Amino acid sequence: MVTLLLDQTQLEVVLSPLERAATFHRENLRIVRETITKVQLTDDAWTWLRGVPGPGTHIPGILAAGTWKAAATTDFVLIRRRRPSVVIDLEGDGQFQRLIFTTRHGLALTQALRLNVSAEPVDVVEIAGTAPTPVVAGRQRPVIRPRPV
């Protein structure tokens, strides 16, 4: 599973040696934060695939990894089975238009991207864990009472 590091200027997707082999990427992905336009969480990342792998690894329903190319788009994909995933749309990135990868930390990523973070790369789970919990003023939880018999 990928590790997501975030600092003030970039999101770094850290790939394990096995993930690097499957995706045919020698280095981690570094995405400038300003190019991220949308982050979406999904339970079925397979529906987001577009185009064909090249270069990449594709075992239908089990693994999709590497660069996927369509008519005018290039996506980075790392999907394992039917697990929770993240779809990140990019605008102005020189290499990719979309990142699609399986991770348990999608919610932490969306929360961390909204916060001001340090200049040093930190795991998004740690960033989201230290964020203050938002409180809506003036709203109280409704009282739930059992129905009389």
pLDDT digits (tens, 9 = 90+) for 32-79: 999 999 999 999 999 999 888 888 899 998 999 999 998 889 999 999
- Check residue 42 and give its pLDDT: 92
- Global pTM reads 0.81
Percent of the chain residues topping a pLDDT of 70: 87
- Which tokens belong to 145? 């009472």
- Check residue 141 and give its pLDDT: 63
- Check residue 13 and give its pLDDT: 92
| pLDDT value at 136 more than 80 | no
